[in-house]
Structure 1
Amino acid sequence: MRMSVEQPLWQALTAYRVLTLLYALGLCVYSFDDYDHPVGAVVYMAVLTLWTALTFRMVASAERCTRRFLVGDLSIAVIGILLTPLVDSHDRIAEGTPTLPSIWTMGAVLGFAIKGGWRWGASASTVVCAANVIERGGFAQDTIHMLSLVWVASVGIGYVVEVARASERTLARALRIEAATRERERLARDIHDSVLQVLAMVQRRGAAIGGEAAELGRMAGEQEIALRTLVSTGLVARQRTGDGTEAVPDRGGLPDAGGPPVPPCLPGPERSDGGPCDLRALLAPHAGSRVTFSEPGAPVLLPAGVAGELAAAVGAALDNVRVHAGEDAHAWILLEDEPDAVMVTVRDDGPGIPEGRLADAEAEGRLGVALSIRGRLRDLGGTAEWISASGQGTEVELTVPKASAKKAQQKGEAAR
């Protein structure tokens, strides 16, 4: 069952309308002989009683309390206020005698506040204030005090309702995250006790047997790492469909523990809606038996086009590792989300790059590094740095300032 934090307010409003109706009827009976036109007062009180009885269930919940009902409820109250000078004497009105609906009017205002928050409450109380000023024929000290109380009360209750709703949404989201985390942990335990152990055994036996079994073992090792990444982070690599195109996996709509749900990144450098993209989801597919991917626990959000270009630069760096460091080289990808920049470091354990080799390659017309990596980062307003020593591997640092990422995205949208 879904518990609403505002439901007690609706129940209190229902009781308030009944009690204030009885109070207004008591005032009418008490002042019956003092009215100039008591029949008019009786007719209005009969209408008010019938309206309250017929709409008793309308204020039982937010779903039943519609805008049309709220407008009608407020209209009944305002009509009663404006009818007061027609049934009561001028002297009694000048003395501060209550209007025909009396404090029942506050129930109509509170309905607006609970339904729509403090702005609705302020609007409804302003209408009531204007009707009271017209009824009194001007501003009086007691009128100002009473109207100020109505306005402050409606705004205060409306604000409390908005805070309660925000708290309810936060609690519901926390419960969903907790449920998703528990389910992920349960699946991780089950998979670890069965599938992962089998894949690890196939990898070891395949490597020991050699030949075609070694290739089978290598593939089993890749699947083991991919599966570990899935159960530990929830990031799923993009899969190939039957026609060779990449399919976007369904993450089940579960939110990340570090923030609200992030729309999945479509294949290619840009999403059609231009919204934010979780860079982790683009880099996770690179993880394998010889590539280790380390990421933050929260989404790393960048504009979709920027995230796609940065992921492509990482892919180009890994291609260089495979080509120049060899198929047996191991690579590590480290994703860091700094307050003002996003940094991706790609490191390998290959032989390293001799000093001056990058400049010579560019002079020879080999533009892989210059265009695929440096060019992309330059267009994004970022930098690409190489740190390498002979025999000690290579480290590539790709840095994109978040301010530059936003400018690059805006520039791309303007170009389109």
Structure 2
Amino acid sequence: MAQRALIRWYAGLWMILGLVPQAMGVWDRPDDIKFTTLAVLAVLALTYPITGSSPGGPAARRYAYLGVLIAGTGAVSYLMDGAASLLIVTLPHFWIFAGSPRRAVVLSGAATAATVAGNIVQQAPDGKVLTGNVIATLIGYAAGSLFGLWMHRVVGQRDERARLLAADLEATQRQLAEAQRRQGAAEERERLAREIHDTLAQGFASIVVLAEAARNGIAADPERSAQQLVSIERTARENLAEARVLVASGAGAPAAPAGAAPAGAAPAGAAPASIAGALRRTLDRFTEDTGLTVTAELPEVDCDRTARIALLRCTQESLANVRKHAAASTVGVVLERHPHGIELEITDDGRGFPAAEARTAGEATGFGLDGMRRRLAELGGELTVTSSPGDGTRVLALIPPHPGSGER
């Protein structure tokens, strides 16, 4: 677009500075010379929009236009005893429409020769050959050719730089797309690993513990063992449902993150409708499977779907750690809403562990506390673990408010 606008501006200047002065200069000449010259100038003016207005047009039309220019400048030079100014103003036409520097030099040279020839033929009766007009024509042609070659080189270098920049940009875009693809794949693998840990792995761990208890107590307390077998069956069914959800999610099917865990908080693959209800079901299953005493303060708290899943997963992971490591007798769970967000506190009276170990527990366990921290961090929240040997453990999850986000 910029090139087209520049060519249009030049065409206007060519007519104003090239054709109009010639028409004014011939006005006081004899009628035959005046009208013939005006006719030639009119042909030049009309030929441009008809055949030469597009540098990218058909070659035959462009070369026909340049041929008219060559003949026209020679005719005007003959009629007006020279046309150096018209030739000099006309030279850019050859560089615009010739298609290559070599053709531009040759064709503009032909126009120069026609102009010089017209002037020489007109001045031949007087014996004048090397007139001022001829000298100006030759100097104008030489200067125009040098300037055109220099501009062609400058434009070529600019185009080459633009081509290299475009190639670099394309390569950078490909690298960025590949990096984003790898990052997306890594994030998806991490998400699936975290979901597997929080659902299937915890479920299988629960099945192992219940199976061992049922096997050891089947003779002494068959009723309790039967109850544990029921829990094993239920947990296995829930794990199967969770596995189907994860497979659908990994295959690209639109599946919601699982809202239920092996502890039975909610239907597999669905977000719990009520976080308080989901936590109660989780705690009931935990009490049923472990026999530990659980105290809970679980008021109804309004939060979006993602926050409900995060709080549920934090509870499941904390209870799994209590079962595996704490040797506790009592567990307390408190859910509260504050102006600064939703807090979930889980405490136990177990053996505890050093505070330094609490700070690095996520790195040691891979997907345990570290997975909880990542879930909360995605929501702008944080996880605090406080513990010391013999004093139990306190896990505090905080999710800041997100007005208007998520579904209810």
TM-score interval for Structure 1 and Structure 2 normalised by the shorter chain: 0.3 to 0.5
TM-score (norm 1): 0.39
Bigger radius of gyration: 2
TM-score (norm 2): 0.39
More helix by share: 2
